[in-house]
Amino acid sequence: MATLPSVSYSITIRLELDGHGSAVGSLTTAVEHVGGVITALDVASAGHERIRIDVTCAARDTDHAQAIVDALGAIEGVTVHKVSDRTFLLHLGGKIEMKSKVPLRNRDELSMAYTPGVARVSQAIAANPDDARRLTIKRNSVAVVTDGSAVLGLGNIGPQAAMPVMEGKAALFKRFADIDAWPIALDTQDVDEIVRTVQVLAPGFGGINLEDISAPRCFEVEERLRDLLDIPVFHDDQHGTAIVVLAALRNALRVVRKDLGEVRITMSGAGAAGTAILKLLMHAGAKHIVVCDVHGAVHSGRDDLDPNLAWIAENTNPEGYDGDLRGAVSGADVFIGVSAPNVVDGADIAEMNDDSIIFALANPDPEVDPEVAHLHAAVVATGRSDYPNQINNVLVFPGVFRGLLDAQSDHVDSDMMVAAAKALADVVTDDELGPHYIIPSVFQPDLAHQVATAVRDAALREQAQRAERRAGGGRAARPGA
């Protein structure tokens, strides 16, 4: 599948060239000849004989960017002075900062914000710890925690290399939900150390967003932290993906007029995201699901099942299918891939039921070429930004945490996540809904607010139900996710 030039590989090249009229045109021709796209052209300085021009181009990757520079430098009379990678420039010094919300202009303001006045506030919290949500940043703060073991498909690149991603996550929290998020990159991949570290850091936060922690360790980390902490713990790679998939699938099924409880679903991928998607789909009413991993269909007769795969075998594939992925795709209504590139092809998609739905979410190269999938399927979604129907976690995690924080919830459960998925799906109106628009843009006005409202209301309902159970003498334990 050909990759198109992208702003992710955007470079600005400062050139000096002759000032005659045809010189600028030669730049455009050279860039187009090697497949680049000029997105801006600015004259930095001009003289009678020579001019300096900044040419900004989108490339496919770093090698392609170098090919563009070489093509421009090969033009007679052109001198390349400097090449800037715009993505690296954006990250210089990091992407987030801390700012004071209160003025510190004089001694009076200083004495209230810090000593001696702050002591009274600390004493109030010591007497009533619940006041921490009212009187500190806890009420609007989320820790974005990673060990750098599974970063954006890059793999185990470590905590320092993961920091730019965690900073980006924090920036998205602020932009879309006005939440103060703090990147925390841990220099350990030991489950016990991760759990203990987050546990002792938790008092300063209203929620924990686990990010880019590899499976199967992420399952244990999340489960143990949910048992230990009195604030929501949300693994976005699992549950954020699951919520967006459920929302998109609800709308895709509306397009083809099929019901979630009746369609046959084949999934490729049984890792963190795949398992979370599976469980949320089942909680929402899906019944006929076969999950495949690299060894084929997950079924009870396999002798290589870890605890996660054993759970999948016990709760899916009721007919005991024991073949490969391609066989599982045949006769299915829905294919959901969170696995690896090119594991199915057009011939496989053609064997699905009429009006099939394809969610090929491996990134950057999907499980099937989207162009090929469109030849056979009614609705196609990917994880890519250059195709319609992008399944992107940023659609949901800011709103989910906004709702959890507003409800002062001590956990997140499947009912809240289904509520988030329904709210996200409902952003797309009946007039807008179609094969190429089943999920809204992240820049849709009020998107995060609508998701947040649904999650807040679900959390408050659950709190009220727990209060009723306590009043009636029943168990008031938190429900699991």
In sequence order, the β-bridge partners of residue 181 are 142
Query: Which residue do the tokens 């690299």 mark?
Result: 294
Whether 437 is a known active-site residue: answer no
Catalytic option among 138, 169, 258, 279: 169
The whole-angstrom separation of Cα 202 and Cα 411 is 13
Paired sense of beta strands 79-85 and 6-18, if any: antiparallel
Q: Pick from 18, 14, 38: which is nearest to 28 by CA?
A: 38
Q: Active site residue: 114, 258, 279, 437, which one?
A: 114
The set of residues, in sequence order, having a beta carbon less than 8 Å from that of 317 and lying 6+ positions away, is: 289, 290, 291, 297, 298, 299
Instruction: Report yes or no: 398 and 173 within 8 Å, Cβ to Cβ.
Output: yes
> Would you call 16 exposed, middle or buried from its count of C-beta atoms within 10 A (0-12, 13-18, 19+)?
middle
8 A C-beta contact, residue 383 and residue 439 = no
Residue 114 is a catalytic residue: yes
Which tokens in the block code for residue 208?
A: 């924990």
- Cα 101 from chain centroid (whole Å): 29
What is the C-alpha to C-alpha distance for residues 455 and 399, in angstroms, rounded to an integer? 8
- If phi over 0 gives left and psi between -120 and 50 gives alpha, with beta otherwise, what is residue 370? alpha
Catalytic residues: 114, 169
